[in-house]
Structure 1
Amino acid sequence: MKNKIMALLLVAAILAFGGVAFAETGQVGVKAISADTLNKFRQHTVDLREQLKAKDLELRGLYAHDGIDMRRVDELEGDIKEIKAKISSVAASMNLEPCNCL
């Protein structure tokens, strides 16, 4: 019984330290931006963000149904990618670093 507990603790410790080591190598530096720049970005992308939310809600609604229309799903996913690309281009034009959150 003690051997099983020790083995379990050893595995847990290895996983914990492995996770920490992996997390440290994946960190990316963050550049501070002014509140004015952020507000301008939000103003320039308000319509795009609203379109993105609407398309995302529609896509979620399609996934909720049993009979899913894959053609419509493909269209919505394409539209979502285009909107995200437009938002990223606005960010790039304002010298904002792109993020992987979109």
Structure 2
Amino acid sequence: MKNKIMALVLVAAVLAFGSVAFAETDQISVKAISADTLNKFRQQTVDLREQLKAKDLELRGLYAFDGIDMRRVDELEGDIKEIKTKIKSVAVTMNLEPCCCL
């Protein structure tokens, strides 16, 4: 019984220290940007973001049906990828670091 408790404590300690070490190496540095730059980015990408929302909603609608049109799904996924690439290129031209969410 005592050995089982010691083994459990040892495993818990290894997991705790391992997750702390992993979390420290996975930190992301954040670059501060001005509100003016952010507003300009938003203004320049408003049409692209609206297109992205519309395509995403249409794609979600297609996934809701039983008889899914895979040709249309592939087309929409390609369009979404293109729009995200355009948004990232606008961010790069404004010296903004694109996030991983797109």
Q: Identify the TM-score tier after normalising by the shorter chain.
A: 0.7 to 0.9
Q: Name the residue aligned to 1:34.
A: 34
Which sits farther off after the overlay, 8-17 or 83-92? 8-17
**RMSD in angstroms over aligned alpha carbons?**
1.7
Q: Name the residue aligned to 1:48.
A: 48
Give TM-score, length-normalised by structure 2.
0.85
Indicate the SS of the match to 1:81: helix
| Sequence identity percentage | 87
Q: Name the residue aligned to 1:65.
A: 65
Q: Name the residue aligned to 1:88.
A: 88
Which blocks of at least 5 consecutive residues in structure 2 are unaligned?
Answer: none
For residues 30 and 51 of structure 1, the distance between their equivalents in structure 2, rounded to whole angstroms, comes to 28
**1:13 shift after superposition:** 3.7
Aligned positions, number: 102
Structure 2: which amino acid aligns with 1:70? Answer: M
Instruction: Tell me which structure has the larger Cα radius of gyration.
Output: 2
Give TM-score, length-normalised by structure 1.
0.85
Which blocks of at least 5 consecutive residues in structure 1 are unaligned?
Answer: none
**1:14 shift after superposition:** 2.9
For residues 13 and 76 of structure 2, the distance between their equivalents in structure 1, rounded to whole angstroms, comes to 44
For residues 58 and 85 of structure 2, the distance between their equivalents in structure 1, rounded to whole angstroms, comes to 19
Residues 57/17 of structure 1: CA separation in 2 closer, same or farther (3 Å cut): farther
For residues 5 and 60 of structure 1, the distance between their equivalents in structure 2, rounded to whole angstroms, comes to 49
**1:9 shift after superposition:** 4.6
Query: Which stretches of structure 1, 4 residues or more, deviate above 6 A after TM superposition?
Result: none
Structure 2: which amino acid aligns with 1:20? Answer: V
**1:67 shift after superposition:** 1.6
Q: Name the residue aligned to 2:98.
A: 98
